[in-house]
């Protein structure tokens, strides 16, 4: 099923139904689910509520990424991207890259992707030249305003046809000559098929497993600096831990 095509009531039934199926295998002392692709605080709230109903008492520690009003943690929304930004800053120091003059391409414009674009633009002064979503991407040599792109996507459902930008494919975005490439969508997007075409100086893996092992070797051999996913996206896990124990 495609959750993006569901009504709010359908999405709630799916969220609660999932917990009905797995509740015996999760819990604060066993396994704590956290937000990921296509989830949001409302979905996590439904899941926490359903688990609490099944256990017979309120159990906010069962899940993270909840709204702050019911036990969520301040900063969880941009935690993955903010943590990634810190790793990019350290990589840039090591490589002597001026991030204030750097170009950035972001594949995936969901939670992690949109926030990394906004943070690098607002805090570091980097130029966001390309972003994409699950459908396609956009490119502007002059740079994109990530806030306006975020609003445009919220209104239209996609970044495609953003005013003043050129539409490009996700594949083309990955091959752009930029200082920092941020694969922030799904796994296995940089493979043995396209690794030799990657021209970025730094690949910051915000997604889980966006680089295959074979592609990883090719990138390293070509002098591309990789920030691995388990470090680059650790900010989300860290703040999820804070949420679980607060």
DSSP conformational letter for 84: H
Place of tokens 């690949």: 203
Residue 36: the pLDDT is 86
**Residue 37: per-residue pLDDT:** 83
Query: d(Cα 210, Cα 185) in Å, to the nearest integer?
Result: 8
> Could you tell me the domains of the chain?
3-72 (3.40.50.10860), 79-235 (3.40.50.720)
Identify the CA nearest to 137 among candidates 113, 115, 106.
106
pTM over 0.95, yes/no: no
pLDDT value of residue 84 = 98
Which pLDDT score is estimated for 1? 77
Mean pLDDT of the chain: 96
Give residue 245's pLDDT.
Answer: 86
Is residue 227 classed as helix, strand or coil in its secondary structure? strand
Residue 107: count of CB within 10 angstroms of its CB? 26
Burial of 44 (0-12, 13-18, 19+ CB in 10 A): buried
- Quick check: 32 and 64 in contact, CB under 8 A? yes
Residue 90: per-residue pLDDT? 98
What's the Cα-to-Cα distance from 66 to each of 50, 53, 60, 75, rounded to whole Å?
Answer: 13, 16, 8, 11
pLDDT in tens, the chain (246 residues): 788 889 999 999 999 999 999 999 999 999 999 998 889 999 999 999 999 999 999 999 999 999 999 999 999 989 999 999 999 999 999 999 999 999 999 999 999 999 999 999 999 999 999 999 999 999 999 999 999 999 999 999 999 999 999 999 999 999 999 999 999 999 999 999 999 999 999 999 999 999 999 999 999 999 999 999 999 999 999 999 999 888
Residue 236 phi, psi (nearest 5): -65, -40
- Report the sign of the C-alpha dihedral through residues 127, 80, 228, 94, in that order: positive
> pLDDT at position 38, please?
86
Helices (H), the chain: 8-22, 41-55, 79-95, 111-119, 146-156, 170-174, 213-221, 229-232, 234-245
pLDDT tens, position by position, 100-138: 999 999 999 999 999 999 999 999 999 999 999 999 999
């Amino acid at each position: 099923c495609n959750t993006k095509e569901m009504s709010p009531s359908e999405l709630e039934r799916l969220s609660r139904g999932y917990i009905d199926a797995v509740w015996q295998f999760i819990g604060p002392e066993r396994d704590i689910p956290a937000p990921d692709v296509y989830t949001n605080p409302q979905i996590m709230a439904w899941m926490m509520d359903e688990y609490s109903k099944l256990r017979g008492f309120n159990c906010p520690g069962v899940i993270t990424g909840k709204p702050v009003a019911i036990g969520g943690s301040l900063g969880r929304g941009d935690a993955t991207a903010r943590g990634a930004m810190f790793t990019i800053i350290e990589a840039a120091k090591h490589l002597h890259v001026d991030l204030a003059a750097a170009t950035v391409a972001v594949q995936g414009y969901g939670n992690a992707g949109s926030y990394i674009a906004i943070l690098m633009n607002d805090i570091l002064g980097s130029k966001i030249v390309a972003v994409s979503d699950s459908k396609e991407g956009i490119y502007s040599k002059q740079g994109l305003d990530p806030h306006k792109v975020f609003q445009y996507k919220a209104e239209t459902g996609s970044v495609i046809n953003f005013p003043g930008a050129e539409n490009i494919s996700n594949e083309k975005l990955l091959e752009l000559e930029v200082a920092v490439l941020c694969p922030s969508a799904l796994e296995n997007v940089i493979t043995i098929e396209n690794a030799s075409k990657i021209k970025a100086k730094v690949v910051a893996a915000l997604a889980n497993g966006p680089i295959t092992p074979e592609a990883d070797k090719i990138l390293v051999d070509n002098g591309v600096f990789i920030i691995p996913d388990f470090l680059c996206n650790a900010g989300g896990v860290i703040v999820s831990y804070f949420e679980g124990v607060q």
